[in-house]
Amino acid sequence: MFGPKTHCVVVVGAQWGDEGKGKVVDVLAERADLVVRYQGGANAGHTVDTGAGEFVLHQIPSGILQGAVCVVGNGVVLDPETFFTELDALAARGVKYDGKLYVSDRAHLTLPFHKLLDRAREKHERIGTTGRGIGPTYEDKYGRRGIRVGDLKNLAGASTRVCARVAEANQMLELLGYAERADATEHVALLERLAPRLLPLAVDAGRVVYEALARGEAVLLEGAQGALLDVDHGTYPYVTSSNTTAGGAAVGAGIGPTAIDAVLGVVKAYTTRVGNGPLPTEAEPAIAEEIRRLGGEFGATTGRPRRCGWFDAVVVRYAVRVNGLTGLAVTKLDVLDTFAQIPVCVSYTLDGEELDTMPADGESIGRVRAVYEQLPGWQKPTSAVRRLADLPAAARAYLDRLQDLARCPVRYVSVGTRRDQIIEVP
Ligand code: IMP
Ligand code: MG
């Protein structure tokens, strides 16, 4: 991926999240100097299997496992409790991060009252959120009442503001008919505990990224969730609260869009979604169950069973367009090894009319019918394959068809969870 003309690469999810970005970032991070998370928060669950063990990261960039310098960008909402629990767990497993981890002084903090609000709203709205306080934290950010990492420098000021926010949150909880309340004293104590640990990591992250690029270093911008969960481009309102698409990478890392050289979209060889909202290629229960079992499709953050279905080329074509993808990484090809026939959705129909792109409204997306093409399965194991030429012919034909339908070249194919189970397309 990285080369003389490619210093800054974005990795994004091109479906509904859980495409295997953690693994792809881990593989690419071997050659990266800097890895930056730029949006989302502890809702993400990036699973990485280094071969020596499995790690699930929610807040910390996956690049930490390859020894890259890691930055939590301004676009991220930082849950400090998850962050430090995760950091301590990494340290206990021998992962070193001294001098290798920075946090933007402009990143907003997710506090316990945000999580209560998330859960209280969820009772009414049923988006199927992860309950990690993501929406309420972004609401505070855009409402210009959020508390940022850099605010901890003035603890007295931050404490006054957090008390006011807790009082407002409690009124809202009352209004929503939610029994639990947030405690102002606990919030102040949390900020006091946090400040000495968080402030030493706080930097102007955009400047760190800018200077790394100026030195010619390789920078990887790591997205969370996927294009169809983007607050603007996703299946609204069943989306997350940030811009998961590549434009969000520039804003959330604090660099200009002209600094980005390539955008790699990660897609599963099929489709999954966790949470509510439309999923046009959702398979019938028995097949969904089979895919879920073969692919181990359970949420890394909430443990919820993921909804499963076939590859949806309308979705990926759309993701190619809204992200400006320059390449695809197809993951979990091996999960399809046993199927005799593999349906691929090539277009939709809505009220008898053919559609070749995503409609804007959830109601229409919920009613589209997927039009399938049947591709022959390969029915041979692929998890030991390391070169494209060694894949069964039907598997190569499957990948060729996906890239034709998506209108974007396949650059990587992943055939298992481990770091070494990857095929780089020449
Ligand atoms: P929130 O991001 O917790 O507000 O959840 C909003 C929607 O995004 C829900 O459907 C979640 O299941 C989904 N979501 C959030 N983070 C992830 C993720 O990392 N992978 C997959 N789905 C996610
Ligand atoms: Mg995930």
> Which pLDDT belongs to residue 324?
98
Which residue minimizes the CA distance to atom 5 of ligand 1? 129
Atom of ligand 1 nearest to the CA of 229: 8
The Cα 126–Cα 74 span in angstroms is: 28
240 CB near ligand 1 (under 6 Å): yes
Which of 341, 109, 318, 112 lies closest to 202 in space, CA to CA? Answer: 109
* CA 165 to ligand 2 centroid distance, Å: 30
Point out the ligand nearest to the CA of residue 44: 1
> Which pLDDT belongs to residue 301?
86
> Which pLDDT belongs to residue 357?
87
For residue 168, give the amino acid letter.
E
* CA 393 to ligand 1 centroid distance, Å: 36
> Which pLDDT belongs to residue 263?
98
Which residue minimizes the CA distance to atom 10 of ligand 1? 275
pLDDT tens string 219-260:
999 999 999 999 999 999 999 999 999 999 999 999 999 999
pLDDT tens string 350-381:
999 999 889 999 899 999 999 999 999 999 99
Atom of ligand 1 nearest to the CA of 118: 4
Tokens of 324: 């400006």
Which residue minimizes the CA distance to atom 2 of ligand 1? 240
Residues of the chain with pLDDT under 50: none
> Which pLDDT belongs to residue 374?
98
> Which pLDDT belongs to residue 300?
87
> Which pLDDT belongs to residue 333?
98
Point out the ligand nearest to the CA of residue 223: 1
The Cα 336–Cα 425 span in angstroms is: 19
> Which pLDDT belongs to residue 356?
81
> Which pLDDT belongs to residue 51?
85
**Which residue is associated with the tokens 């210093």?**
7
The Cα 280–Cα 270 span in angstroms is: 12
368 close to 350: Cβ distance less than 8 angstroms = yes
Tokens of 279: 């999923």
> Which pLDDT belongs to residue 52?
84
